Amino acid sequence: MPTKAALAHIPGPPAKPLIGHTFDIVRDAYGTQQDYIKRYGSVYKVNMLGVWRVNLCGVDAMEMVLLDKERNFSSQGGWDALQLIYPGGLLLQDFDHHRANRRIMQAAFRASAIRDYRLRMCGAMKTLLDTWPDGEAFCFYKAVKDLTLKLGGAVFMGLPLDGDLARKVNRAIEDEIRASVTAIRSPIPFTPMWRGVRGRQFLIETFRTLIPERRAQGGDDFFSQMCIAKDEDGQGWDEDQILEQFNLLIMAAHDTTATALSVIIAALGEHPEWQDRLAEEVAGLGDGPLDEEALGKMAQTNLVFREALRLVPPVPFIPRMAIKDFHWKGFDIPAGTSLSLNPGVTMLSPEHFSNPTAFDPERFSKTRAEDLKHRFAWSPFGGGAHKCLGMHFSTMQVKLFVATLLRERRVELAGPPPKWHRMPIPKPKGGLPVILRRAA
């Protein structure tokens, strides 16, 4: 890893002893980066947790790094902090190894499998939402995280919503997530990393016991599909590969969806005219099943979902590591340099979006199409070889949630519109208190 001296030619703000710029970035990640871009340009360096990192800002940098035509950049090296918890997941793989495993994973996301997941999710979603209170304030973010965890157990593993095993699995997943964003990277007893490593051990052991049965009997849950998934050449995974890929997948599906739904609910509470539009759209679906045809008609909901991901993307920064020397925007950057891309800040740039901090789903309409100004202007799912495989699944899950909720209830904010913690995982400050009321 290059030293500060090796990056001396890269501009950047003065760094505080020991902590560098860590506290500034954690306290106000977007504001700090926007300030640094104004002061130092689209290439600058910062020190996070003792590591010097070069920020490459803007759509052109994302296109260059994420498409990676010359194989200069490692996702594994960028996400190295996750090695203790998710060492074998797709996110921590590169090039041919990554491509081979991604082809197998795509089998679990094929269209027929997505239909099966939808059928499993519909009933579970209704059951869980029926437990939410009417007419009294509750913390939406906590409730939706619990909902997505339980849905994950049902849809991803085929577990009962409130079974003992499901509760233990959910607790272990939460421990892994906390460990993945903690500053202490060693499993010192009673730290989040220690609990995360223990959670990982429990999940790996639990998943392993399920593999023989799922391979023999199949099933329409995600884990069963991964156990039997093969690419077009008939290649599948051994037990260890299934365990590592699934462990990362359930984490990614849980936290990103909880963030997106929180942004949507906050927006609908703050902008009742959009809640009315979505409620009218849902009413137009009738009382029939929320099948593929019905979800395909939810165009207004899709606009709101895209705007929510623009305003508060679940992954606002994308790390990579340079594995070769390269030149960018007038700077020579040495191999081994930690890099950071900034889709979150880019999607709030007036260069690409009009009035960028305003909630305005119509910007994604066919007549305006602001997201098409550049292929990476709107990039909450990343891009290139590592572009998120779960895009269509997450869209389906969000539409099912909105339709299930608005068929019967309306949402009000029980406080002022929330501000957002952007790092390490975006979430609403104060937990987003809301009140649900029965629709008239």
Per-residue pLDDT of the chain (440 residues; tens, 9 = 90+): 777 788 999 999 998 887 889 889 888 999 999 999 999 999 999 998 888 999 999 999 999 999 999 999 999 999 988 889 999 899 999 999 999 999 998 887 877 777 878 888 888 899 999 999 999 999 999 999 888 888 877 788 877 777 788 788 888 988 998 888 787 788 999 999 999 999 999 999 999 998 998 888 877 788 888 888 888 888 889 999 999 999 988 887 777 888 999 999 999 999 999 999 999 999 999 998 899 999 999 999 999 999 999 999 988 999 999 999 999 999 999 999 999 999 999 999 999 999 999 999 999 999 999 999 999 999 999 999 999 988 888 899 999 999 999 999 999 999 999 999 887 788 999 999 999 999 97
CA distance 355 to 388: 28
Q: What is the pLDDT of residue 261?
A: 95
Q: What is the pLDDT of residue 216?
A: 87
Q: What is the pLDDT of residue 323?
A: 97
Instruction: From residue 13, give the alpha-carbon distance in Å to each of 61, 75, 230, 276.
Output: 21, 26, 49, 46
For 222, residues 6+ apart whose C-beta sits below 8 A from its C-beta are: 108, 113, 117, 155, 156, 157, 246, 249
437 - beta bridge partners?
410
Tell me which amino acid residue 206 is.
T
CA distance 195 to 193: 5
Residue 406's CB is within 10 A of a number of other CB atoms, namely: 21
Answer yes or no: are the C-beta atoms of 179 and 85 closer than 8 Å.
yes
Q: For residue 239, which phi and psi values (nearest 5 degrees)?
A: -60, -45
Q: What is the pLDDT of residue 252?
A: 79
CA distance 148 to 143: 9
Angle at 417 between CA 413 and CA 419, to 5 degrees: 135
Answer yes or no: are the C-beta atoms of 353 and 347 closer than 8 Å.
yes
Tell me which amino acid residue 338 is.
S
> What's the distance, CA 22 to chain centroid?
22
Q: What is the pLDDT of residue 57?
A: 97
Tell me which amino acid residue 52 is.
W
Only one residue has tokens 């304030």, namely: 137
Answer yes or no: are the C-beta atoms of 339 and 73 closer than 8 Å.
yes
CA distance 155 to 221: 5
Nearest CA to 184 out of 4, 17, 2, 424 is that of: 424
Half-sphere exposure for 63 (CA within 13 Å, toward CB): 8
64-67: long-range pairs with CB below 8 Å, 24+: 64/328, 65/320, 65/339, 65/341, 66/318, 66/341, 66/376, 66/379, 66/382, 66/383, 66/384, 66/386, 66/387, 67/383, 67/384
For the domain made up of 58-438, give the CATH fold.
Cytochrome p450 (1.10.630)
Tell me which amino acid residue 195 is.
R
Region for 153 from its dihedrals, namely left if φ exceeds 0, alpha if ψ lies in -120 to 50, beta otherwise: alpha
- Give the domain ranges of the chain: 58-438
CA distance 406 to 261: 13
- Residue 215 in tokens: 């391979």
CA distance 321 to 79: 9
Q: What is the pLDDT of residue 108?
A: 79
